[in-house]
Amino acid sequence: MMNHPLLLIVDDSKMSRMMISRCVNALRPDWRLAEATNGAEAEAMIEQEPPSLVSLDVNMPGMNGLEVAGWIRLHHPSIRVVLCTANIQDAVRQAAEKAGIKFVAKPITPESVAGMVALFEDDTWLN
């Protein structure tokens, strides 16, 4: 996989961003991390320096995570996106799968973040 990938963590919860950062740092200390608090900020950051990986919350003010994921798929299809959300309705899962986006359920725990890292490193992405 990539040498020092950039992971963009997009979540309106500061606590969630901190927990994801801490867990990813423990698992993959060579990964570079960036944070965005909403979809618009994420899009601006992606335009400036496209990350290899994006962790996206679904429920955020403004654009929701699925809208951001759709934009990423359209403009930067090689970015690997994992939705990290407490919103585990079937419709959300199906929309994510249809868009070629992986899914990890909140709460943010070392286990859920380890699952996210494993998904990012999975070689079966639909690029």
Q: Kindly indicate the confidence band of residue 2, based on its pLDDT and cuts at 50, 70 and 90.
A: low
**pLDDT digit string (tens) for 33-59?**
999 999 999 999 999 999 999 999 988
Q: What is the pLDDT of residues 75-98, one digit of tens each?
A: 999 999 998 877 667 877 777 777
- Per-residue pLDDT of 53-70, as tens digits, reads 999 998 899 998 889 999
Q: How far is CA 70 from CA 81, 90, 112, in A?
A: 10, 18, 23
Query: 125 or 109: which carries more pLDDT confidence?
Result: 109
Q: Which domains does the chain have, with CATH numbers?
A: 6-121 (3.40.50.2300)
In angstroms, the Cα distances linking 114 to 43, 119, 121 are 25, 9, 11
pLDDT at residue 29 tops 60: yes
Is residue 17 within 8 Å of 35, Cβ to Cβ? yes
Q: Are 38 and 64 in contact (CB under 8 A)?
A: no
- At residue 99, the pLDDT reads 73
pTM: 0.91
